[in-house]
Amino acid sequence: MNILKFSRLLAIFFILFVFSQATAAVSTAPPNKPAEISINGTSISLVYESIPILQGQIFASGKNYNINRVIDKKDGRVTQLMTFTTLRPQDSIKIQGKIFSGQESFPCEVDRRDRGLTVVRHSSGPSHSRLNRAVYDRSRDWVLSVDHNPSVRITPLSDSASGRTYALKITGSEIIIRFRPRYYQKHRGLKYFEPWTYRIWPKPIVGWCSWFAYFSKITEKNIKKTVDVLSEVLLPYGYEYLQIDDGYQRGQGLPELWLKPNMKFPNGLKHLVKYIKDKGLKPGIWTNVAFNQMDFAEKNKDFFVLDKEGNPAQGNWVDISIDGSNPEAINRLVRPIYRGLKDMGWDYFKVDALRHLRYEGYNSYPDYFREKQKDRVEAFRNLVKAVREEIGRESFILGCWGIRPELIGIIDGCRIGTDGYSFAGLSQYNSFNNVVWLNDPDHIELSPEDAYRSTMATSLTGSLFLLTDKPEVYRTNIVDPAKRAAPVLFTQPGQIYDVDPSRSQNLHLVDTEVTGSGPRLFDAGRTPTVHLFLLEINRPFENWVLLGRTGGEDKNIPFDELGLDPSKEYYVFEFWSKILLGSYSGEFAPGKIDPHFNCQLFCIRKRLNHPQIIATNRHITCGGYELDDVRWEDHILSGKSRVIQNDPYILYVSEPPGYTFKEAHCIGAKVKKIEKTGMMQKIVLIADNNGSINWTIEYINN
């Protein structure tokens, strides 16, 4: 073998070795131990899992400063601290460098602020917020943070398949840096959170659920009618899923009762799947883990949880409990249901009564599992794991209902509260969304009281979004907020603590609950305590924020409390009323909430010294969804947008002093109307087809 061939083979083996190591690193658990700290002169580095996660330089105005290192270990929680303190109060220290992390990392807050507005924060695209004091790496479950007091700026630098890099700048007389491995698993107490074993569902879920529209009276006929209306009216706006709920099955028990529907569905479930898919939608289906065929249970007692007398144990809402510690029970009673539904083509699976199986079924009979020497939590997980294995990771599982911490890593989404929509849980479990799972606040009814605020809050937080009205509602004007709130953008939380901790602080009680009749202390509540929802939009051409307000007594909203630079000036545009409030520095007054909308949505953009996009009407993100590009060059404002056929697309453009509108052009749509109000130009475009358009607006510089 010549040297050239040997070199090539060596190179191939090296690539395969590196690839195998990288693959192994993804699937193995990160160590629950401190990082390695190296301080050499003015250089500082932190290394975790043999990978540098922080590299920087230390600059001090005084000659001397103290460095202290502390490692605290308690109840499996590891906290590593580095403290840098000046010897004189007038001196300061600056640490400047870079943070290196995985592709699932994001800047955030990890420690609650003791003052200021109470705001739930999310971000579409890597956050640039001035509120961020930490970087959390989901894939390895570590967080690197800076304590309050010194000034901190964390700025995204690069994003690639190999990871993300952030610029870090800290300035103060006392700096405390904390490293916490296994943050959600150990520090937040989520035992089953192992993000290195699963990925978050990659795309938001938006669609329709039949439950409040028809309850258990659903029929094949009214589902088809809904399919027709949804595909015509809402599919172009991003509504993809149609989920049928309780009412199609012949009973709750043996697999055949689920796979062959009742007389209301004469053509069968496979026919319905085809009908849904042929109209461009994705089919979803409700199932239930309850079992109510006592005659079968009496003959097959080994398949079920037994009471002290050796009879199948019974409980409210779950009837008889399938024993998840018995593989034969799972193979006979669980797997065939989901294998059969998957083979029919169902893509989305809502698995109900899980709380009742856990509480009334397993927690209420600990002696049964103790005598079998089986762990009842593992038995519970085994049953749902079987569902996952049969439908695959390519299908979505919604765990229903209430918080299910023992199913983390198995289910894709969790119905965090009780029946009926409530945005209270969006602040009580905000840190879980798109980190642990996808939060489901339950389906939305487009009532005059709640249509605007429920669609807005759900979309701004990147949560699971399902409507549940009768289809004729979608041919009325009340459908407009639903159109403007979809699609939902993929978001990451701006805080990895829960803004309202009243529910999540009681999660430990899940192990001792014996009834699921009604919400438990840890389930998402019905009464909102937080009324401000912030979504940060970060695009290559511009960054801006959306602030949704559902109530509260805030008379003034400071920009720095929203993570914005208080020294800058900002346009504030109210989306629902399409009113430009004005241009402000420091803070702005939101005013009273219009009872027609029952909420406000402010688009806040930094004011530039030339004409700029203030907002668009297509989506509540004011361009965050459909704007692909915006440029200002040679007195021309131009951009590229994705629009919907015959849906008027409106550009709201600022016209500061010194500029005069000349004309507007568009390729792919017609300019239907141009109207100026105050300092804002309103340009209406209408396209004959769905797709991209290119628009230009020319100005004369006075």
Q: What's the whole-number average pLDDT of the chain?
A: 95
Measured in whole angstroms, how far is the alpha carbon of residue 596 from the centre of its chain? 28
CA distance 95 to 686: 52
602 lies in some domain: no
Q: Are residues 480 and 497 in the same domain?
A: yes
Q: Are residues 400 and 359 in the same domain?
A: yes
The residue to which tokens 């990890």 are assigned: 110
362 lies in some domain: yes
Q: Are residues 377 and 423 in the same domain?
A: yes
> Given the DSSP bridges, would you call strands 613-616 and 151-160 parallel, antiparallel or unpaired?
unpaired
688 lies in some domain: yes
Give the residue among 515, 445, 435, 506 at the shortest CA–CA distance from 478: 445
Give the residue among 481, 479, 459 at the shortest CA–CA distance from 621: 459
Edge-to-edge strands, sheet with 413-415: 438-440, 413-415, 396-399, 348-352, 282-288, 241-244, 206-209, 465-467
Can you say whether the dihedral through the CA atoms of 505, 35, 174, 56 is positive or negative?
Answer: negative
Contact 121, 563 (CB under 8 A): yes
Q: Are residues 504 and 620 in the same domain?
A: no
Give 489's DSSP letter.
Answer: P
437 lies in some domain: yes
Q: What is the pLDDT of residue 13?
A: 41
Mean pLDDT for the stretch of residues 275-287: 98
Q: Is residue 21's pLDDT more than 70?
A: no
Contact 67, 177 (CB under 8 A): no
Q: Are residues 83 and 227 in the same domain?
A: no
Which residues lie below 8 Å from residue 170, measured CB to CB, with a gap of 6+? 93, 94, 95, 96, 146, 150, 151, 152, 177
Q: What's the CATH number where 613 sits?
A: 2.60.40
Q: What is the pLDDT of residue 11?
A: 40
Q: Are residues 497 and 633 in the same domain?
A: no
Tokens of 206: 């938006």
pLDDT digits (tens, 9 = 90+) for 575-627: 999 999 999 999 999 999 999 999 999 999 999 999 999 999 999 999 999 99
Q: How many residues does the chain have?
A: 702
CA distance 69 to 277: 59
Q: Is residue 19's pLDDT more than 50?
A: no
CA distance 287 to 684: 46
Instruction: Give the structural domain span for 681.
Output: 608-702
Q: Are residues 174 and 274 in the same domain?
A: no
Give the residue among 48, 58, 90, 67 at the shortest CA–CA distance from 170: 58
Give the residue among 36, 22, 110, 30 at the shortest CA–CA distance from 71: 36
- Residue by residue, DSSP assigns 131-200 as T--EEEETTTTEEEEE-SSSEEEEEEEEEETTEEEEEEEEEESEEEEEEESSIIIIIS--TT--GGG---
Contact 390, 342 (CB under 8 A): yes
Structural domains of the chain, count: 4
Q: Is residue 149's pLDDT more than 80?
A: yes
Q: What is the pLDDT of residue 702?
A: 81
Give the residue among 540, 681, 534 at the shortest CA–CA distance from 612: 681
Nearest-Å Rg of the Cα atoms of the chain is 28
CA distance 588 to 586: 7
Tokens of 389: 């294995």
Q: Which three-class secondary structure state does DSSP give residue 281?
A: coil
Last residue of a domain, one of 161, 189, 217: 189
310 lies in some domain: no
Enclosing H/E stretch for 343 = helix 335-344
Tokens of 434: 């798109």
Measured in whole angstroms, how far is the alpha carbon of residue 288 from the centre of its chain? 25
Q: What is the pLDDT of residue 63?
A: 74
Contact 340, 349 (CB under 8 A): no
The residue to which tokens 């969790």 are assigned: 414
Distances (CA, A) of 432 to 60, 327, 356, 412: 39, 31, 22, 12
pLDDT digits (tens, 9 = 90+) for 405-460: 999 999 999 999 999 999 999 999 999 999 999 999 999 999 999 999 999 999 99
Q: Are residues 341 and 446 in the same domain?
A: yes
Kindly report the backbone phi and psi dihedral angles of residue 583, in degrees, each rounded to the nearest multiple of 5, phi listed first: -120, 130
Q: Are residues 92 and 215 in the same domain?
A: no
Q: What's the CATH number where 220 sits?
A: 3.20.20.70
Which residues lie below 8 Å from residue 559, measured CB to CB, with a gap of 6+? 565, 566, 568, 570, 584, 585, 586, 587, 588, 604
Q: Are residues 262 and 218 in the same domain?
A: yes
Is residue 89 very low, low, confident or very high in pLDDT (cuts 50, 70, 90)?
confident
Task: Count CB atoms within 10 A of the CB of residue 135.
Answer: 25
CA distance 261 to 158: 52
CA distance 362 to 375: 10
CA distance 414 to 438: 6
Encoded amino acid at 488, one letter: V
Last residue of a domain, one of 511, 532, 559: 511
What percentage of the chain carries pLDDT values higher than 70? 96
Q: Are residues 378 and 502 in the same domain?
A: yes
Kindly report the backbone phi and psi dihedral angles of residue 203, in degrees, each rounded to the nearest multiple of 5, phi listed first: -135, 135
CA distance 168 to 599: 37
Tokens of 144: 């690197």
Contact 229, 474 (CB under 8 A): yes
pLDDT digits (tens, 9 = 90+) for 305-323: 999 999 999 999 999 999 9
CA distance 434 to 412: 9
Mean pLDDT for the stretch of residues 642-660: 96
Q: What is the pLDDT of residue 61?
A: 85
pLDDT digits (tens, 9 = 90+) for 150-193: 999 999 999 999 999 999 999 999 999 999 999 999 999 999 99
Cis peptide before 31 (omega within 30 of 0): no
383 lies in some domain: yes
233 lies in some domain: yes
478 lies in some domain: yes
Q: Is residue 62's pLDDT more than 90?
A: no
Which residues lie below 8 Å from residue 596, measured CB to CB, with a gap of 6+? none
Q: Is residue 269's pLDDT more than 60?
A: yes
Q: What is the pLDDT of residue 653?
A: 98
Q: Are residues 404 and 272 in the same domain?
A: yes
Is residue 4 very low, low, confident or very high in pLDDT (cuts 50, 70, 90)?
very low
Burial class (CB in 10 A: 0-12, 13-18, 19+), 468: buried
Q: What is the pLDDT of residue 487?
A: 98
Q: Is residue 361's pLDDT more than 50?
A: yes
